[in-house]
Every structure is written in C-alpha cells, then in structure tokens.
Homo-oligomer: A and B are copies of this chain.
Amino acid sequence: MAVRLFDHPFDPWALVRERERQLPLERLGACSVFAGRMRDFNEAEDIRAMFLEHYPGMTERELERIVAEAEARWPSITCEVAHRVGAVDPSETLVLVAVWSAHRVAARDACAEILERLKHEAPFWKRERLTDGTERWVEQNTPGH
C-alpha cells in the first residue's frame, strides 16, 4: 500500500512507472488506473482555480483504511493512491488510483471501489474560484455507481 498527498503538481504516469519498478509485473497481469484532473468548468460555470481543503491526519488515515479494506476484499491486489491538496490549477491531476492484480476483474473493480469510497469518505473539500472572481464550495460529489 502507498498513499501520498501532494501540495504541488505531480505526474501520475511517472508515479505509476516508479511504483512498477518495484513490482513483480510478471505476476501482476492487470493494472487499472484512474487519474482525475481539475476541469475548467463545473455545472455550466467556468472555473479559474480551486483550493482543496483537507483534514490533516484524518485524510491519510482514511485513505489507508480505504485501501486496506480493498486489499482485504481483493487479497491479490497492490495499490497506489495519490491526492493533491491546496491550490490547484485547471488540467492538474487531483487524484490517482492505481491497482495491480493477477486478473483484470479484481484490478478494475478495486480501482473503481477505491475511487468511489475516496470521493465519499476521505475528508477533502473543493472550493472553486470562478472566472468572475466569486468563490463557492462544491456541495457534493456526483454518484459514480
């Protein structure tokens, strides 16, 4: 398990590749990855920037718990989770979930489950700054399944 918070831009594919250098890929036939980026629009409004507030301490614990529970449910998986905090600009990566497994169904299902639980359980809050200068809190995440 690896869970990381970044307060600066990170390259999700470099992170995945770096992790894979330490993994026995000849036994892990499947890798499922989700990368979420900051969009420059939301609910028909143009967004200039975002601030990601979080609850230091609880955030890391929650991410580790979510990953540990996925590893208990799909024992063969290996996971990497990363999330931005603080000020974020459009197109930057907000979240990365990567799951390796011997088989594709476990990798795919665990990747989706970790992302959904992260979105509904990990203590992050998005505050958007619109192009007209006003700011607003994102009220809730859209359902993913």
Contacts and interface: CB of A to CB of B under 8 A. Distances in A.
Given A13-B17, A16-B13, A104 B27 contact: no
Nearest to A107: B34
B39 A29 contact: yes
B32 A28 contact: no
Nearest to A34: B32
A32 to B, nearest CB: 5
Contact of A40 (B27, B36, B104): B27
A39 B16 contact: no
A102 B13 contact: no
A104 to B, nearest CB: 6
A35 interface: yes
Interface of A: 11, 13-14, 16-17, 24-41, 90-91, 102-105, 107-108, 112, 115, 142, 144-145
